[in-house]
Amino acid sequence: MQQANLNALFDPKSIAIIGASPDDQKIGGRPLSYLQKYGYEGVIYPINPKYEEMNGLKCFPDIQAVKAEIDLAIIALPKSVVLDTFKKCVDQKVRSVIIFSAGFAEIDEEGKQLQDEISRLAKQNHVSVLGPNCLGMFNVSKGVYGTFSTIIEDEKPLLSNIGFVSQSGAFGSHVFTLARQHHIGFSYFVATGNECDVDVADCIQFLAQDPGTDVIACYIEGTKDGDKLIEALKLARKNGKPVIALKVGRTNVGMKAALSHTGSLVGADEVFDTVFKQYGVYRAETIEEFLDVTYAASKLPFQKGNKVAVFTVSGGVGIMLADQLSANGLTLPETPEPVKQKLREILPIAGVQNPIDTTAQISYMPTLLEDFMDSVLSSGEFDSTVIFLGFAGLKLDSLADRITTLKAMKERYKDIPQIVVTINSKESRKMFSDAGLCVIDDPSRAVTVSKALHFFANRAEPDHEETYLPVKEDVFGSSTLLTEYGSKRILKQYAIPITEEKLARTAEEAIQFATEIGYPIVLKGMSPQILHKTDKGLVVLNLIDREAVRIEFKKLQKIIEETDGAEFEGVLVQEMLRKDSVEMVVGSKKDPIFGQIVMVGMGGIYIELLKDVSMRKAPVSTTEAEKMIQELQASAILQSYRGKPPYDVEELSHLISQFSHFIVAHEEKLLEVDLNPVMVFEKGHGIKVADGLMTLEKQVIHS
């Protein structure tokens, strides 16, 4: 996507409306009406052969008749003529196009082909296209209204520093309207429709560079280009702009609904979740959370630490806040003793311990709130404040006093986000907004906001991505599936510690290797056609002498030879590992949208049942790998526990990082890798991959 043409789309100096109408209830009439009534300062070219003049503007019969540069053309015509019209735009060197019309890929195969043709022409001629089947966009500060949505028909949208991009027009409209009701505005509103050209990633990238946008909110159902999305998210992070995403299709049921809605591949949700976490995107679960966090991030500084001071007019709500803050990883440090003393002097009946109960006296003592807040915040012990004012928002006369106090506190403690909670009326929202304050309707929602502001302050920094040299030769040969032996031989080339082992072709060889490695020994029968060795009886543990090795070798060979279609590769002679280790699983899978994903989990049946797995897009640094391990529910088991020494998390992290670079080096070839188990020994004693399996792409087109 060329930035220049995105500028033409989002900030056009001239706009042609093809299918324009003087009737502001018609699809082609609305953008014209909005542009005129909400103060667009560029040139408008209404295009409609039935008119010579429209709303005081010269009207043109077709786009060729416009003898001037056109930044943006809006196509508001029936599907049947869209392609022809678009071609004319291309001929006319129009720099960007919005297609409102529906009936394309969302309907049937014919529609899809039509859309693909538009897409092809767009890319070939470097025209930015938004749509088709889309509600359009608007840019509030420049008065650009390329939309037929009715959500702005009654009132001009409010301007703010929030850019909002939505893959669903109806969803976007709903959020916009809810925001309007809460006196929250936007810099840009974009509905991307079928995304034949401009997609949600392009919009994020644009907004990440837009000086009028500080916060980016997006509604996502899926994406075709994972790398582009990641690049956009990285840019937003680099530019210090928080991104809040509401992504649907989390469960299988939702995923199915999403497939039927979009008709296209949407990608595994858990991988989206991983990517969001990894690139600092706050994922909201509900519309309320989406809007609350977006709005708070647009008003408040990030929250540097997790120490929250709560001021409340209700002791009960204070307890509830204490519960919910601590359940969300935030803390309520004790009020420092000298501060308690001060508070008691101000109001003896106050609850001076954090959560601090101002009691209903707040209504009778005009300076109480300021005195309390100032005493507490000046201690320097707190990173954030939640101020619960009950239903003060409905008592407008006393509210003005409260707002004066809060504004003064906000200015005095600029780095401490101040989350005010009260029941609101339309009037109180406006008062808070005019004062530049952030007000939330419900205490629990304030907790979420505090958590999110802390999340943004701690967004993962870009990895220091040390890269391992990929092995140039094709290490995989022509196989599509490697045995444990084959897999581990390759891992060894990447300096990944594996069990000491050798492949024996004969019983004599096996005995010789066993002697070299040292008893007790493990034997494993190898056949590329047999994946589940244990189920087939192909693993024998704890052999202690030559004779046992000889007998078992024969048995293993026989099992394989008697299995239909199974090829006998040999018998793996392997050291017997000590028991005093924790079994982990490290693996990878290739996601169709985002590529190689690295995973770590605890081994064993319980954890498999509990799905306790941590993922990242590969590669990851050792530091990031350590974070992955810490995220596991059961990670405590690796730490010092019940007097046992801790396990070698350092070497495990190192393995995950190494392995993640390995899978990226063979991005195309590797479908799935499963190192299971990886034995983790006591700290200082390292790790060992005890078993491993790789599934490969059948055919790789080498570029």
Q: Segment 182-221, which members bind a second copy (CB under 8 A)?
A: 219, 221
**DSSP-derived 3-state class of residue 410:** helix
- CB distance 55 to 32 below 8 Å: yes
Cβ closer to a second copy: 326 or 379?
A: 326
CA distance linking residue 129 with residue 232, whole number of Å: 18
Nearest distance, CB of residue 142 and a second copy, angstroms: 26
Q: Which residue(s) pair with 575 in the sheet?
A: 521
User: CB under 8 A: which stretch of 440-448, 482-490, 539-547, 657-665 binds a second copy?
Assistant: 440-448
Residue whose tokens read 């709560």: 310
The one among 4, 159, 265, 327 contacting a second copy by CB under 8 A: 327
What is the chain's percent helix, strand, coil content, to nearest 5? 40, 20, 40
User: CB under 8 A: which stretch of 86-94, 353-361, 456-464, 496-504 binds a second copy?
Assistant: 353-361
User: CB under 8 A: which stretch of 40-48, 174-182, 561-569, 664-672 binds a second copy?
Assistant: 174-182
CA distance linking residue 209 with residue 335, whole number of Å: 42
User: CB under 8 A: which stretch of 34-42, 58-66, 78-86, 168-176 binds a second copy?
Assistant: 168-176
The site that binds a second copy (CB under 8 A) totals a number of residues, namely 73
**Does residue 3 belong to the site contacting a second copy (CB under 8 A)?**
no
Cβ closer to a second copy: 25 or 367?
A: 25
Q: Which residue(s) pair with 543 in the sheet?
A: 521
The one among 3, 25, 181, 398 contacting a second copy by CB under 8 A: 181
Binders of a second copy among 298-317, rule CB under 8 A? 313-317
- CB distance 550 to 513 below 8 Å: no
Nearest distance, CB of residue 580 and a second copy, angstroms: 13
**DSSP-derived 3-state class of residue 304:** coil
**Is cis: bond before 132, omega within 30 of 0?**
yes
Nearest CA to 499 out of 530, 531, 522, 532 is that of: 522
Nearest CA to 286 out of 186, 177, 175 is that of: 175
Cβ closer to a second copy: 191 or 232?
A: 191
Nearest distance, CB of residue 564 and a second copy, angstroms: 21
71: number of Cβ within 10 Å: 22
Binders of a second copy among 379-408, rule CB under 8 A? 390-391, 394
Binding string, residues 16-35; x marks residues near a second copy by CB under 8 A: --------------------
**Does residue 602 belong to the site contacting a second copy (CB under 8 A)?**
yes
Q: Which residue(s) pair with 99 in the sheet?
A: 75
Nearest distance, CB of residue 292 and a second copy, angstroms: 11
The one among 101, 192, 278, 324 contacting a second copy by CB under 8 A: 324
Nearest CA to 94 out of 53, 54, 57, 47 is that of: 47
Cβ closer to a second copy: 68 or 609?
A: 609
CA distance linking residue 176 with residue 133, whole number of Å: 19
239: number of Cβ within 10 Å: 14
Tell me which DSSP letter residue 286 carries: S
CB-count exposure of residue 334 (10 Å: 0-12, 13-18, 19+): exposed
Nearest distance, CB of residue 212 and a second copy, angstroms: 26
Binders of a second copy among 52-111, rule CB under 8 A? 107
User: CB under 8 A: which stretch of 52-60, 242-250, 619-627, 664-672 binds a second copy?
Assistant: 242-250
**Does residue 353 belong to the site contacting a second copy (CB under 8 A)?**
yes
Cβ closer to a second copy: 353 or 529?
A: 353
The one among 264, 326, 404, 695 contacting a second copy by CB under 8 A: 326
Cβ closer to a second copy: 286 or 458?
A: 286
CA distance linking residue 676 with residue 583, whole number of Å: 8
User: CB under 8 A: which stretch of 22-30, 364-372, 475-483, 602-610 binds a second copy?
Assistant: 602-610
Cβ closer to a second copy: 142 or 247?
A: 247
Binders of a second copy among 103-142, rule CB under 8 A? 107
Cβ closer to a second copy: 125 or 363?
A: 363
DSSP letters of 176-208?
HHHHHHTT--EEEEEE-TT-SSS-HHHHHHHHH
The one among 23, 641, 672, 684 contacting a second copy by CB under 8 A: 641
**Does residue 605 belong to the site contacting a second copy (CB under 8 A)?**
yes
635: number of Cβ within 10 Å: 16
The one among 81, 268, 319, 435 contacting a second copy by CB under 8 A: 319
In the chain, the amino acid numbered 452 is: A
> Can you give the length of the chain in residues?
703
Binders of a second copy among 272-291, rule CB under 8 A? 285-288
**DSSP-derived 3-state class of residue 309:** strand
Cβ closer to a second copy: 357 or 624?
A: 357
**Does residue 443 belong to the site contacting a second copy (CB under 8 A)?**
yes
Binders of a second copy among 532-591, rule CB under 8 A? none
CA distance linking residue 599 with residue 673, whole number of Å: 10
The one among 159, 170, 400, 544 contacting a second copy by CB under 8 A: 170
CA distance linking residue 371 with residue 357, whole number of Å: 13
**Does residue 178 belong to the site contacting a second copy (CB under 8 A)?**
yes
Cβ closer to a second copy: 95 or 277?
A: 277
**Does residue 260 belong to the site contacting a second copy (CB under 8 A)?**
yes
Nearest distance, CB of residue 173 and a second copy, angstroms: 7
The one among 63, 75, 208, 246 contacting a second copy by CB under 8 A: 246
Cβ closer to a second copy: 221 or 569?
A: 221
DSSP letters of 467-499?
-PPPPSS-TTTT-SEE-HHHHHHHHHHTT--B-
In the chain, the amino acid numbered 308 is: V
**Does residue 249 belong to the site contacting a second copy (CB under 8 A)?**
yes
337: number of Cβ within 10 Å: 9
**Does residue 610 belong to the site contacting a second copy (CB under 8 A)?**
yes
CA 408 to chain centre: 36
- CB distance 56 to 22 below 8 Å: no
**Does residue 645 belong to the site contacting a second copy (CB under 8 A)?**
no
CA distance linking residue 469 with residue 432, whole number of Å: 56
| Residue 143 neighbours by CB under 8 Å, 6+ apart | 35, 38, 39, 40, 41
User: CB under 8 A: which stretch of 274-282, 430-438, 484-492, 598-606 binds a second copy?
Assistant: 598-606
Nearest distance, CB of residue 363 and a second copy, angstroms: 9
